[in-house]
Amino acid sequence: MARESDHIVAETAARIFADLADPQTVNRAKDGTWRTPLWRALAEAGLALAWVPESLGGAGASMADGFEIVRTAGRYAVPVPLAETLAAGWLLTQAGIEAPAGAMSVAPASPEDRIGVGPDGTLNGRARRVPFAQEAGHFAVLAEGAQPLIALVHAGQCRLDEGRNLAGEPADAVSFDQVKPLKSAPAPARVDTTALMLMGSVIRAMQTAGALETVLSLSVAYANERVAFERPIGKFQAVQQNLARLAGETAAALAVAASAADTIAEAQAFDEAVRLESASAKIRCAEAATEGAAIAHQVFGAIGFTREHVLHRFTLRMLAWRDDFGNESWWAAELGRHIARRGADDFWPLVASR
């Protein structure tokens, strides 16, 4: 349930994005000079470390506040590691580790990857598709071992193999070869790899829902402006039907993402409810991204595929976010296995409880 503070935080974020990261302005930019003032504004407003308490160097905002920041960032297709820094700050906070200033990312970012911790406390392993790894100054790492650790690692200690996602943003492989953390602490029992993947999935679901809001707004505006056969294309029944489908996908994504975010915000641990809500949000929002991107490009026609138009800034990011923290196929299989283990008698009570 949205609170007044959620709206204040979202409005603050929206003002910063509108002033310093307008999609049209960013799309026309010939270089990345716009990034420095944007990140400075985000840091000064406390948005990048919103989930970090003041005692650990952050803003001490609520979980709900942070999710609103993420959703607003999705509405502007902000191409900086804000969501990743928020996630890293949240992970470090679970172990009481102070968050450093500057951009961060989190590892692992895929459920198949594992980073181990040796007897001497060094980290070993490889994490694929770590978002914005090459732009991060530090990594927040969840490492497995006899005693699972949460560690803060300087990015310069790791080997990066450059990669890109569908949107052309960094999605690098990060290798940890006997890396000594700057700081580390035991991970609490409630935080494991599954919990990290669930948290990341809801972050991506909120970003996707926000991006779909803008895609819908852009599509409706264009359909009312673009004239064919002497009338706006939005007057044609086929286009109206497509826009109605896009509105439905957007509404579904907003509902399921918000429900999952509320569940995490109110839960004391990553329990059964969080697992069901978060996995469902990632699956449904990924489906909405696929369907929504296709509909939007149909409405815009050829112009929507050009680099000059901003539509790709949203659609390509939505499609790329499907793969982070487990794609919809992985979560569907995982959710199916989890429900099957509970048995047929528990299936309906589990579904009806949400």
The domains of the chain are located at: 1-78, 103-188, 193-352
Residue type, 241: Q
CA distances from 110 to 200, 282, 326 (A): 10, 13, 6
Inter-axis angle of helices 63-75 and 193-225, to 10 degrees? 40
Under 8 Å between Cβ of 253 and 213: no
Strand order through the sheet with 104-107: 104-107, 138-143, 149-154, 183-186
Antiparallel, parallel or unpaired: β 159-161 and 227-228: unpaired
pTM beyond cutoff 0.85: yes
Q: How far apart are CA 185 and CA 183, in angstroms?
A: 7
CATH superfamily to which 103-188 belongs = Butyryl-CoA Dehydrogenase, subunit A, domain 2 (2.40.110.10)
Q: How far apart are CA 127 and CA 144, in angstroms?
A: 13
Q: Record the tokens describing residue 323, joined without a space.
A: 């793969």
* Predicted confidence pLDDT, tens digits, the chain (354 residues): 455 555 788 899 999 999 999 999 999 988 888 999 999 999 999 999 999 999 999 999 999 999 999 999 999 999 999 999 999 999 999 999 999 999 999 999 999 999 999 889 999 999 999 999 999 999 999 999 888 999 999 999 999 999 999 999 999 999 999 999 999 999 999 999 999 999 999 999 999 999 999 999 999 999 999 998 889 999 999 999 999 999 999 999 999 999 999 999 999 899 989 999 999 999 999 999 999 999 999 999 999 889 899 999 999 999 999 999 999 999 999 999 988 988 888 888 877 777
Q: How far apart are CA 295 and CA 327, in angstroms?
A: 21
**DSSP symbols for 234-282:** GGSHHHHHHHHHHHHHHHHHHHHHHHHHHHHHH-SSS-HHHHHHHHHHH
Question: Which CATH number among 1.20.140.10, 3.40.640.10, 1.10.10.60, 3.30.750.24 corresponds to the domain 193-352?
Answer: 1.20.140.10
CA distances from 202 to 158, 198, 301 (A): 27, 6, 31
According to the model, what pLDDT value does residue 6 have? Answer: 53
Q: How far apart are CA 250 and CA 211, in angstroms?
A: 9
Under 8 Å between Cβ of 274 and 338: no
According to the model, what pLDDT value does residue 1 have? Answer: 46
Q: Residue 230 carries which DSSP code?
A: T
CA distances from 121 to 145, 188, 224, 249 (A): 10, 17, 61, 46
According to the model, what pLDDT value does residue 147 have? Answer: 84
Antiparallel, parallel or unpaired: β 138-143 and 104-107: parallel
What count of other Cβ atoms lies within 10 Å of the Cβ of residue 354? 12
Q: Record the tokens describing residue 262, joined without a space.
A: 């509320």
CA distances from 259 to 63, 120, 223, 333 (A): 13, 42, 31, 21
